[in-house]
Amino acid sequence: MKYQPSKPVRRKTKSKKSTKKITPGMILKYSFLVLFVSFLVTGIYQYRHGFLYYLGFKTNKRIEALTEKKGKLANLRIYEILDRHKDKVYGIDVSHYQGEIEWETVEKENPEFPLHFVFVRSTTGSNGLDTEYKTNWKSAKKHGYVRGAYHYYRPDENSVQQAENFIKTVKLSKGDLPPVLDVEKIPNRQSMDSLKNGLKRWLSIVEKHYGVKPIIYSGESFYTDFLEEEFEDYDLWIANYSFFEDEIRKEWLIWQFTDKGTVKGIKGNVDVDIYNGDLTRFNELVIK
């Protein structure tokens, strides 16, 4: 028998554990995940009462009167805002975009969501007149609402003519709200300095005519970016529909918190506004 040498025993070497390299892409991915979870948790906590309403555990006749559908996710924010501002005064603002309003219905068919004031668009630019202004202006007062008129400012048109257009159209009387200047667009042909000078002229002419300081209406970001430094002495009516904005700020006189409201008697959506105070304080705002 031939001798066969035994094969050498190979020792198994421990394999090195593979270490996964952390890449910038992974860091970004996990950072995004953490951010998303934080966003979700914050949102649920912030609108926890709204979620209970959405899921059917709570009812709120005020929000059901103001919104089209109970199941809409967007109603979470509206629910929270209404719930947190029970002591405030509510109103709407209207223009020809709402078409022909059934004011009798608005007055009598919305008991769950009482409205106290209505802002009516009167004029636009140097010669524009809102086609529903005269009807809305008379009807708002006839049906018991405190009314106010606003002018939509066109940046590239003459400011003096715009002021004259408003004055010629709007006759304010005792019990009405101060005049409002609506500015929300940057100019195409003039500089921002020229726009600001034009706004100052409009405000000065209108204040002198009516003997009351006007209110400025604008989007929150537009006002902050372009107007805040030079117009901080004026009362503000601010539009802000941000999901994370659920409390009226102390520097806002009026907050337009949604453009998705529904009111019986008005076709389609309507802007809804909160006055930053109770009814007693609101009555101090009107023209004496």
pLDDT digits (tens, 9 = 90+) for 266-280: 999 999 999 999 999
Residue type, 103: W
- Is the pLDDT score of 244 beyond 70? yes
Whether 183 and 156 have beta carbons less than 8 Å apart is answered as no
77 band by pLDDT with thresholds 50, 70 and 90: confident
What would the two tokens of residue 246 be? 């659920």
What is the model's pLDDT at position 73? 55
* Beta-carbon count within 10 A of 283 CB: 13
- Is the pLDDT score of 59 beyond 90? no
Q: What is the CATH number of domain 86-283?
A: 3.20.20.80
What is the model's pLDDT at position 140? 98
57 band by pLDDT with thresholds 50, 70 and 90: very low
φ, ψ for residue 152, nearest 5 deg: -85, 115
- Is the pLDDT score of 61 beyond 60? no
- Is the pLDDT score of 66 beyond 70? no
Give the residue extent of every domain in the chain: 86-283
56 band by pLDDT with thresholds 50, 70 and 90: very low
Whether 190 and 221 have beta carbons less than 8 Å apart is answered as no
Residues annotated catalytic, as ranges:
93, 184
Tell me the pLDDT tens digit for each residue of 41-51. Answer: 555 545 555 54
Whether the full predicted model's pTM is greater than 0.85, yes or no, is no
What is the model's pLDDT at position 110? 81
Residues 6+ apart with CB under 8 A from 22: none
